[in-house]
Structure 1
Amino acid sequence: MNVTLKAPWLMFDLGAPHRIISWAVANPGLTDASRILWREVRNADLPEGFDADAWLARELAVRGESDAVAMLTSRSLAAYRTASVTVDGIRADCVVTAGLSNAERIGTRLPPADAESGAGWGTINIGLRLSCGLNDAALIEAVSISAEARTAAIMETGPMLATGQATGTGTDCIAIAAPAGTGRHVGLHTAAGEALGRATHDAVRAATLAWMEAAGRHQQMP
């Protein structure tokens, strides 16, 4: 796994063009790229009404990486965590940054000023690469598996809120990369699904525990 940290950027170099699905700030949807990037920002860098999409596009252009999939986070990039899992010859590599300052429980919504997890905006950003070729439908399924794994990890390690156990944040993002191919299924019964699910879970769990420790938080079960 080729991951490079040069603040304020974190780069996951995929080694070659991959098919990527995400809802990242830069180049969301289905696209082809060879890198997934994280850009560290402070809350003050993104005031209300600020055009973050256009700003990030300019930042990428300066780097000569306008085609890269890129996400924003206020979490220190030095706190990133990784996990690699191989199942039946299929490898999944996962890179995660996790901040839970705006944690939420699914189906509920806390006013930002009243969020028990602290002031500001955090996010859980996941970049994952699979070694097996997938078609676009399988990439969509892969997102669901990664999201399930992320939620399981947060429920095991994350904060308890007034609305219940946190299941994510209001600004989470997932980017899944795989070589373009004909693979159609990556569900929980498949080797690819097992590999990407465990890699996501392990990296999110480690990143969440690091945030909880840094924030002086302890999970309190009901």
Structure 2
Amino acid sequence: MAVAGTDLRVRLAPPWLVADLGRVRRVLSFAPHRPGFRSARHILIRQVRDADLTPDLDAVNWLGAEMARIGHAGDVGMMTSRGLHHHRLAQAGPVACLATVGLGNAERVGRRRMVPSSSYGTINIALLVEDGLTDAAMIEALSIVAQARTAAVIAAGIELPTGRATGTGTDCIALACDAGGTAFAGLHTALGEAIGAAVHDAVLAGALAWVAEHGREPARAAPSCTGA
């Protein structure tokens, strides 16, 4: 599936969701596989089952091995326990957003649950910006992605003992662009507005779909957090 106005192409090939960035790009992320500033052509999301995420699993090494097995060791990888067919796409100006949204592991920022959810769930965001950004602008853009995700989760109305959820304990963001001279991507800029709009639309659509299935009060007990 192509996202109009951008080079992003998304391919669903269970258990993988593959975002093709059109060419090798700079990617900034805190993804489990190849985090930080990297160069990559693809961002992949690997679906896992809750039962796969045993307490003794080294999820980072496992994901790396899975990426290598399909020839994508040099790309950026994330994981989700959400069914991949639930992914959402949104576009605004030069920005395209792919999101998978599970909220079983929801948290409120600054007030973590001492007895977390019994199920896994995370928000994975892969964002392609067709402008060329400086390092500083990429960092600023990543902060706008986080703001938009948080606003969308708040709007979805997940109620926890600690207050309204603002995200999950294992959210991941990967932002891709070319190297370039655009130095600012804040809320006062057209680029920052486009980033916020695309991310908010994709995450809110995914969050509302999750709420329609599961309700607004996630189950309570305690898994370990592995990034799914």
Q: CA deviation at 1:217?
A: 3.7
Q: CA deviation at 1:49?
A: 2.5
Q: Which of these residues, 5, 13, 21, is aligned with residue 6 of structure 1?
A: 13
Q: Secondary structure at the match of 1:133?
A: strand
Partner of 2:60: 53
TM-score (norm 2): 0.89
Aligned match for 1:25, one of 7, 10, 32: 32
Runs (4+) of structure 1 exceeding 6 A deviation are none
Q: How does 1:37-186 map to 2 (within 5 A)?
A: 37-86=44-93, 91-113=94-116, 115=117, 119-186=118-185
User: 2-side partners of 1:137 and 1:7: how far apart?
Assistant: 35
Q: 1:11 is paired with a residue of what secondary structure?
A: strand
Q: Structure 1, unaligned stretches of length 5 or more?
A: none
**Partners of 1:217 and 1:106 in 2: how far apart?**
17
Q: Assess if the C-alpha contact under 8 Å between 2:159 and 2:216 holds in 1.
A: no
Counterpart CA distance in 1 for 2:61 and 2:115 is 25
- Give 2:170's aligned amino acid: T
Sort the Cα spacing of 1:50 and 1:23 in 2 relative to 1 into closer, same or farther, 3 A: same
Query: Which whole-Å CA distance do the structure 2 matches of 1:11 and 1:83 have between them?
Result: 16
Q: CA deviation at 1:54?
A: 1.2
Q: List gaps (5 residues or longer) in structure 2.
A: 4-8, 218-228
**d(CA) in 1 for partners of 2:139 and 2:155?**
25
- Quick one: distance in 1 between partners of 2:115 and 2:16? 27
Using the alignment, how far apart are the partners of 2:10 and 2:66 within structure 1? 19
Secondary structure of the equivalent of 1:36?
strand
Task: For 2:113 and 2:44, locate their aligned partners in 1 and report how far apart those are by CA, in whole Å.
Answer: 29
The one-letter code sitting in structure 2 at the alignment partner of 1:177 is A
Residue 112 of structure 1: how far off its partner (Å): 4.3
AA paired with 1:101?
G
- For residues 171-211 of structure 1, the C-alpha deviation after alignment (integer angstroms, 9 at most, x for no partner) is 00100111111211100111111111100000000000011
TM-score using structure 1 length: 0.92
Identity of aligned residues (%): 50
Q: Give the residue type in structure 2 aligned to 1:123.
A: T
The answer (yes or no) to whether the contact 1:158–1:208 under 8 Å persists in 2 is: no
RMSD: 1.4
Match of 1:213 in 2: 212
> Matched residue pairs, number?
211
Distance of 2:187 and 2:68 partners within structure 1: 38
Q: Kindly provide the amino acid, as one letter, of the partner of residue 183 in structure 1.
A: T
